Structure 1
Amino acid sequence: MRATMLGVSALAGVMMLASAAQAEELRLLTWGGYAPDDVVQMFEKETGIDVEVTLSNNEDMISKLRATGGGGFDLAQPSQDRIAGVQMEYGIYKPMDLSKVDAAQFIPSMLAATKTNTTVDGEVYGLPHIWGTSGLVVDTKKAPDVKDYTDLCNDSVAGKVSYRLKRPTLIGFAFAMGMDPFAAYNDEAKYQEILDKVQEKLIACKPNVKTYWEGGDALLNLVRSGEVVAAMAWDTGGWKLNNDNADITFVAPKSGALGWVDTFALPRKTENEAAAYKWINFVMQPEIAAKITASAGNFTASKGADAFAEDKLKAQFQGSFPQEALDNIKWYPPVPAGLETLEGKALDRIKAAQ
């Protein structure tokens, strides 16, 4: 009888261990397209770890993690310019353990830049994953002279232009006007001077604007219909339109496309850090990264992944980004506290101007 009881007890222990193994989970806070179903299934099959995906954006990620003090998720994917300042203010992330990451899988220059931009007190808080740019989406037949942001104010495209009343428009116009807003990030007075000049330009440009777009789909429809012939938008939007109309494509502005990088970052109260590192190393494999590019439409920081990208997307990318345009990308640095308030006031004034 005693032996039988021990057997039952041992069996119960095995069942509990099996249940615990089955319950292992990675809670991922990310953007749409960054964790496609086929990649999640491959990861779950290889590791036995369930993946719970919550879709989000920068503002929502910060809000969710602030509300829990960095809890509720095991891995998040904020943009690299939204990590250092947020960490200094709210302390919602924990440093990356670089010894647990296969650094050889990353494009070296992108890894180095992101590490620099996400370092706080000597600790690295982010690694690069998905990157892309905003610039110009142009119908090259109807608006052949639009080569830079300020060309959206040309008489030749009056009434047929669109852009967002958001910070990328302020930044892009500043560069096109010969100023460097990023170099002024740590000098509020200098930054305000730049904003004042850009504000004046954008108010003067208002008659050219068909509409200030908010949703990407709405903008794409305006360009498809011919109501808008030139716009500020993301590279993927231009390439999507190019699939239907060869005359429309993404154009890297003369003054430089604006580059963003979405990262891997560990919430401070992650409960499955080991699973987070397994996910990072898994999705940075070139063939897996190419599947994410196919889903998200953007390229990744995975070294060699472009070799596995679909031919059409590769051709579109190379057409929009000759080497000099790639070298001229203006990567967003961390945003110092207070600047977004200044930008918000400038945007409000532009919107209200008659």
Structure 2
Amino acid sequence: MNWKMTAATAALAIFGFAGSASAEGALNIYNWGDYTSPELIKKFEQKFDVKVTVTDYDANDTALAKVRAGGHGFDIVVPSSNYVPIWVKEGLLLEARPDQMENFKNVDPRWVDVAWDKGRHYTVPWQWGLTGIGINKKAYSGDINTSAIFLDPPKELVGKINVTPEMNDVLFATIKYLGGDWCTADKDLLKKVRDTLVAAKPKWLAMDYSVTEKLPSGDYSAVYYWNGAVMRARLKNPDITFGYPKEGFPFFMDSVAILKDAKNPENAKKFMNFIMEPENAALISAFAKYANGIKGSEAFMPADMKDAPELVVPAQFEKAGEFLTTCPPDVSELYTRIWTDVNK
């Protein structure tokens, strides 16, 4: 899979918001930490006279639990593709019909009829990427194209590793490292997965999303993390390099959705349409350094993204990447049990 920037951008034709139409009010966005372009938010606020508040989360399960509990006050959430079916099944999302919005024509065709939201009745693309290995070359000079970096780390990296707190990304890499397939229910294999992670965790320093600061500063020497964040770290420190686990790594797409109990649904719809404009989608990518799914946005991208080693998968690793899918409930329960043990 080649990461030449694809594009996708949507439409609000049924709402007819052309020019600088004003819509006073508020918009509360619940999104991944360090993932929302301040420039994008400022531009939206000025165009629509809407006050935007962004609240961060660090994992899909964190966001899901918060919204399930109620009383959250959020209008928009940005779940990953393998979680969207869960949100829809539980009745947590508004069927906002972004496919009928004016800017939907800009969504790259590959991201329209997606498995997690056929025809895009609930969500629009935000960003997509993959999870791999970030390394400070001054700390380690061996093979970095392997999940052994965090599952069986070399002595140079012990106690200096940060691992994403996202359950599915970590379990995916571990299952693949041990020769299994995603969504496997093989209990013998899953016991090995659990034991491998429980043994590895004491060798990690952290599980958080402060990679863009702590990897270039030297606080972390290695990370299992998302490619865009590692690119941002490299731009601050040229000693940072990116590896693609040859055993297997997950692709993801995060998409914007409106919550069923949103207090500001019309402003949320305006935001959906707004981010499907190529120039605005490019602002999202320019900040966080991921592809966005909106065609035409590449024309507005920073030059440093076009051939970035974190964004263009080398040919020898193309077949190692797979999109995370939604596992059956019984399998997800097994994975949650493993994750609970890892986090004890």
Task: State the match for 2:161 in structure 1.
Answer: 162
CA-atom RMSD in angstroms: 3.5
Matches within 5 A, 1:71-90: 72-88=73-89, 90=90
Whole-angstrom distance in 2 between the partners of 1:67 and 1:137 = 35
Larger Rg: 1 or 2? 1
Comparing both structures, which one devotes a greater share of its residues to helix?
1
Matches within 5 A, 1:28-177: 28-32=29-33, 35-46=36-47, 48-57=48-57, 58-68=60-70, 72-88=73-89, 90-97=90-97, 98-100=99-101, 102-113=103-114, 116-118=115-117, 124-140=121-137, 142-150=140-148, 152=150, 153=152, 155=154, 157=156, 159=158, 162-164=161-163, 167=167, 168-177=169-178
Is the contact made by 1:101 and 1:277 (CA closer than 8 Å) also made in structure 2? no
What's the offset of the Cα at 1:136?
0.7
Whole-angstrom distance in 2 between the partners of 1:349 and 1:53 = 35
Whole-angstrom distance in 1 between the partners of 2:284 and 2:110 = 21
In structure 2, the CA distance between the partners of 1:223 and 1:143, relative to structure 1 (3 Å rule), is farther
Question: 3-state DSSP class of the match of 1:173?
Answer: helix
**Amino acid corresponding to residue 273 of structure 2 in structure 1:** N
Q: What per-residue deviation string (whole Å, max 9, x for no partner) do you get for residues 149-176 of structure 1?
A: 1354265756366243752222102113
Matches within 5 A, 1:1-354: 23-32=24-33, 35-46=36-47, 48-57=48-57, 58-68=60-70, 72-88=73-89, 90-97=90-97, 98-100=99-101, 102-113=103-114, 116-118=115-117, 124-140=121-137, 142-150=140-148, 152=150, 153=152, 155=154, 157=156, 159=158, 162-164=161-163, 167=167, 168-182=169-183, 184=184, 189-190=185-186, 192-203=187-198, 205=200, 210-217=203-210, 221=214, 224-225=217-218, 229-270=221-262, 272-317=264-309, 321-322=313-314, 325=317, 328-337=320-329, 339-350=331-342
Is the contact made by 2:172 and 2:249 (CA closer than 8 Å) also made in structure 1? no
Is the contact made by 1:252 and 1:320 (CA closer than 8 Å) also made in structure 2? no
Alignment length (residue pairs): 316
Question: 3-state DSSP class of the match of 1:315?
Answer: coil
**Amino acid corresponding to residue 127 of structure 1 in structure 2:** V
In structure 2, the CA distance between the partners of 1:326 and 1:266, relative to structure 1 (3 Å rule), is farther
| TM-score normalized with structure 1 length | 0.73
In structure 2, the CA distance between the partners of 1:253 and 1:277, relative to structure 1 (3 Å rule), is same
What's the offset of the Cα at 1:204?
5.4
Task: State the match for 2:10 in structure 1.
Answer: none
Task: State the match for 1:14 in structure 2.
Answer: none
In structure 2, the CA distance between the partners of 1:311 and 1:222, relative to structure 1 (3 Å rule), is closer
What's the offset of the Cα at 1:42?
2.8
Higher relative contact order (CA 8 A, sep 6+): 2
Question: 3-state DSSP class of the match of 1:94?
Answer: coil
What's the offset of the Cα at 1:294?
2.3
**Amino acid corresponding to residue 110 of structure 1 in structure 2:** W
Is the contact made by 2:161 and 2:204 (CA closer than 8 Å) also made in structure 1? yes
What's the offset of the Cα at 1:348?
5.0
In structure 2, the CA distance between the partners of 1:176 and 1:104, relative to structure 1 (3 Å rule), is farther
Question: 3-state DSSP class of the match of 2:282?
Answer: helix
Identity rate, percent: 22
In structure 2, the CA distance between the partners of 1:72 and 1:240, relative to structure 1 (3 Å rule), is closer
Unpaired segments ≥5 residues, structure 1 = 1-20
Is the contact made by 1:131 and 1:298 (CA closer than 8 Å) also made in structure 2? yes
